Amino acid sequence: MSLPVPPTRRRNQPSGPGLTTRAGNKNIHPAQLAGLVPKTAEERAEEKGRAAETKAQSDHTKDTALAAIAAIEDEQRREDIEYGETANHPPAPARPHRQTQTPQFSAEEEEEMDSDPEADDSSGSDAFRPPDDSNDSSDDEEDPDNSEGDEDASAAIPRKKKKKFSRADIQAVRQTQDIAGTPEIGGVGGKRKAKDNGEKRDAKKTKIAKKSGMASGAKEKLKRREAKGVDDGDGMVHYGGPAIDDDADEIVEREKKGKGRAQASIVRIVAPAKRVTQKELRGDGSKRWTVKHIPGPADNGDIFTDKVWPNLRKQLGQLPPWHSLSDAQVQAVLDQFFTKVKMNAKDDVWQGLIMYRTNTWRAGFPLQAHKCVVDMVANAKKRAEDGTAPPDEIPLHTPQGMKDYVTSMLEFDEENFKMRTFQWREWDEAQEKYTGFFQSSVILFTYSYHLAFLAALPGGLDLEAPAIGALLLASQALEREFGFWATGVYVPPGRAQKEQFSNENWGDYTAESATTKRRIRRATWAVDSLKQLQGEQWETVNSATASYLPKNKRARSRSTSCSSSSDVEMVIEEEAPLLIEFS
């Protein structure tokens, strides 16, 4: 037995009954406005009566305001007329004038307006009035949707704009009229040069002027003096005013004696000052100062080269490093050797020549330091090739050996970071033994550059005033040279300013912060320590340094030292090689 086929059903057809809405919704259309509800005859009659009362009250308020404004303007106009009639002469007797009539109302009308609650000033013709729902008791039973339609209908009624009064309305109420233009005052003619009408007016009092100018008879008195030839230079009064104390030109205006005679102009045109360059001051177009520019005979240049500059260089080495000679020091040396002609140390020629030679002298220290290191490397290479090098000697001719040596030389004491290894003759960290401050062979070899100049100068080796600045410059130049060998191979310095041997890179400077200033003694940190050395210690330094001088310098150094001090003797038979002492 087979089962019956189930009935077919459309796709997406709900299985249950459909949804139903209220029957009243078929007549509701939210997108459409509800129809207007007509008013009853009683409502229309009441609104008509209320509108008439409102219009009457509005007209009354408007007329009252117009009358008040017109009264104010009439009063102002009458004041102008009275002021014009009484200006510059006594006022005329007062005359009665007609007052502006204010609208009058009867007692019954005023009582009716006062008793009317709708006649308030704040209520105008366009004031909003809510609908009166007292007679519409049947509206409560209506559908709420119909009540909303009534509100929309009442709100859609267009309102009438309140008419504003203009100037024409005010002029219609006024009793007087304005006149354009400036009114005449006191009957005076309108034109400036009009003929006088004969009316007498009070004359204006003249102001008493102050007396000025020369006294009467003074001009004739001066003429008589000039005719007699009397000198009036001591007089206090001259033509053109009293003479000024700082008037160098003495340009004082005099009396014009002849008509038509040309007078010299007292206006002077001063040309701007022309800047004179140093090249123009030299006179011959030279770019630098030379000994030829020294005033006086030609041999003055030799005096400066052989006597003046060596003594100035000696004093320059005694000053702290990177310090310059003062004008007083230069003037003292000039007066010592130029006895016939007075020289001024502030002249450009002396300032230029001394500046050139000072820079050249300072530049010799880094050259001597470079020669020191190069000779050390060459000697180490020669000893290694000959087989005469000690077993414990550092191979300076190899990059690694040179790098290790430079690293050890630039080590510094932890307690005083400014003292480095190469500045001591002996440096033993294990035994804490530091001896020979600034007496190492490398420093003395660099210092010999300056000692050679002192040896050639009579009395140059002055133990009472040692060359502290020159010794410190030698130490700084050697420290700078070791920095170029830090990699084991020489790296020459470039042209950059930070790589130059100058005061900006190696001199003292001031470190400024927000609240303090601190002086960093980069060059003069050891000046006080070197000043404590005695004469015997400086004698030892000079004697050890003399071993690095050339033969011709050593011979002159011997004669010079004997003439300057009998205690110092530098007798060296042959030139000693540059030996590095290892500790």
* Model pTM score: 0.49
Looking at residue 257, its pLDDT comes to 60
pLDDT, averaged across the chain? 75
Contact 503, 528 (CB under 8 A): no
Query: What is the tally of structural domains in the chain?
Result: 1
- Regions of the chain where pLDDT drops below 70: 1-18, 33-35, 87-163, 180-204, 228-263, 283-285, 413-418, 429-433, 551-583
486, two tokens: 């830090």
Q: Where are the alpha helices (DSSP H) in 175-277?
A: 218-228
Please indicate, yes or no, if residue 439 is contained in any of the structural domains.
yes
Please indicate, yes or no, if residue 335 is contained in any of the structural domains.
yes
Please indicate, yes or no, if residue 551 is contained in any of the structural domains.
yes
Please indicate, yes or no, if residue 106 is contained in any of the structural domains.
no
98, two tokens: 């007609």
Q: How far apart are the C-alpha atoms of 183 and 85, rounded to whole Å?
A: 10
Contact 435, 424 (CB under 8 A): yes
Residue 85 makes CB contacts below 8 A (sequence gap 6+) with 91, 92
For 118-174, write each residue's pLDDT tens digit.
444 444 444 444 444 444 444 444 444 444 444 444 445 566 666 677 878 888 888
Q: How far apart are the C-alpha atoms of 117 and 127, rounded to whole Å?
A: 14
Please indicate, yes or no, if residue 371 is contained in any of the structural domains.
yes
The identity of residue 198, as a single letter, is G
Nearest to 474 by CA among 530, 518, 395: 530
Q: How far apart are the C-alpha atoms of 65 and 74, rounded to whole Å?
A: 14
Q: From residue 136, how far is each of 38, 40, 141, 152, 533 by CA, in Å?
A: 13, 10, 10, 17, 128
127, two tokens: 């004031």
Q: How far apart are the C-alpha atoms of 118 and 179, rounded to whole Å?
A: 43
User: Could you give phi then psi for residue 483, rounded to 5 degrees?
Assistant: -65, -30
Q: How far apart are the C-alpha atoms of 344 and 331, rounded to whole Å?
A: 7
Q: Which domain holds residue 366?
A: 300-564
Q: Where are the alpha helices (DSSP H) in 431-566?
A: 441-455, 468-484, 503-506, 527-531, 535-546, 551-564
Please indicate, yes or no, if residue 462 is contained in any of the structural domains.
yes
Please indicate, yes or no, if residue 451 is contained in any of the structural domains.
yes
Please indicate, yes or no, if residue 27 is contained in any of the structural domains.
no
From the number of C-beta atoms within 10 Å of its C-beta (0-12, 13-18, 19+), residue 531 rates as: exposed
Looking at residue 319, its pLDDT comes to 93
